[in-house]
Amino acid sequence: MTKPIVAIPCDFRQFEGSNWHAVPHQYVRAAVEGAGAMALLVPALEDGNDAEALLDRVDGLLVSGARSNVHPSLYGREASEQDGPFDPARDATSLPLIRAALKRGMPVLAICRGIQELNVALGGSLANDIQDQPGIWDHRHPEHPDSDVKYAIRQSVSVKEGSCLARVLGAGEIQVNSLHRQAISKLAPSLAVEALADDGTVEAVSVIDAKGFAVGVQWHPEYWVGTDSPSGQIFSAFGEALNAYVAGRKQASISA
């Protein structure tokens, strides 16, 4: 079987005085090694991308984490400097792709910033600097030069009984590497909570009545996809959904 192709929206970044369209390697590696897919990086453009034309050519959408935050204007709030940094080109690229992919029933896996984009794309809102709220833990990563230390698995989340993730991981407590200072505030009407941290922070969601696999996680399964069982299981389930989507498209083409 031909490998499925996964679209990954880029960030718009500056390196050494030049503008770049960039995706951290850990997401590309996880798509290839964990989901058995090929990765197609989508340039981050405020204007000029055609979500429908792009999705005609791929089989799934992987929405990665990033250093930037979704702009508050997209969920009805005024932006302050504290809410940044922002990446309007990433917002303009990812949100239309998410909506269009879900409408098609295309597999979607949204990670970290991705789960926040998923929530905003479907009408939800975000909370900033959640560590300053009463009773909420500090979910930010430690300041350390070693990425393995930053992305260490150190937090418990509880996967809900009967959820989409429970079918993949089993219900109950798992250990994850959740690293963030923003989180879901108002849950989008079409999303269901899949997992919670002990402090009540939403750590995973799924799209209600989705035609296919459509899950967002606040943690980083891509980083330890080859060595951590839950991380590997998430990407394996995503890969299975991608292959099923490819098979369905082929069957529809034959029937037509």
Q: Catalytic amino acids?
A: 112, 220, 222
**Cα distance between residue 142 and residue 33, in whole Å:** 27
What 3-state class would DSSP assign to 101? helix
Structural Rg of the chain based on CA atoms: 17
In this structure, the strands spanning 5-9 and 108-111 are unpaired
Q: Report residue 93 as tokens.
A: 């690229």
Residue type at position 26:
Q
Three-state SS at 11: strand
H or E stretch covering 40: strand 38-42
Cα 174 from Cα 156, distance rounded (Å): 6
Residue with tokens 């296919």: 212
Q: Which helix (H) or strand (E) holds 120?
A: helix 113-121
Question: Distance between CA 58 and CA 42 in Å, rounded?
Answer: 11
Q: What angle do CA 91, 84, 65 make, to 5 degrees?
A: 50
Q: How far apart are CA 149 and CA 140, in angstroms?
A: 12
Give the separation between CA 237 and CA 256, rounded to whole angstroms.
29
